[in-house]
Amino acid sequence: MPILLPSMDPCPFCESVLAGPRGWNFIARDEHVLILLNGRQYETGQCIVLPVRHAPTLLELNDAEGAAVMRSARRIAAAMAEVFDPDGVLLYQNNGEFVGQEVPHFHLHVVPRRRASSWGSGPPQLAAVMAGDRPAHTDHARITDDKVSAVALLRQ
């Protein structure tokens, strides 16, 4: 049985790939992956790493893309450690609508975590997101000064 994916056409991440370095949240790109600041900032500096080629889930990544995702996650985590001095770095990734995948394009979250976070031991509960409770820092569609500053810091 195939994994049920959210329905989006066009894919917003494919549009980000096409936008290239012009996108407000663009941090870096190589031949296989793109690193973007996540528009939904539960933690300052939260990023996503996604393949350039459209691949809906982890199961569709090829070996080169999978390796490139992890190299880029390590690279952006090192940048986060330097500029944000977090207490830890969380990686998480969802495959399928049932487990919270919201965009039908593989993406790995790389999150600088702080002890004072409201996340507890993991990502925020999906119920708040599903209920539409999105303050400016968690709304991916709203660009804030903090988000733009985080992109500038991480591009260094």
Assess if CATH 3.30.70.100 describes domain 12-155.
Answer: no
pLDDT recorded at residue 125: 47
Chain position carrying tokens 């996540």: 38
As a 3-state breakdown, the chain gives helix, strand, coil percent values, each rounded to 5, of 35, 15, 45
Domain boundaries defined on the chain:
12-155
Neighbouring-strand partners of residue 91: 110
Give tens-digit pLDDT for 89-114: 999 999 999 888 999 999 999 999 98
- pTM given for the model: 0.81
Task: Report the C-alpha dihedral over residues 124, 127, 133, 136, rounded to 10 degrees.
Answer: 30
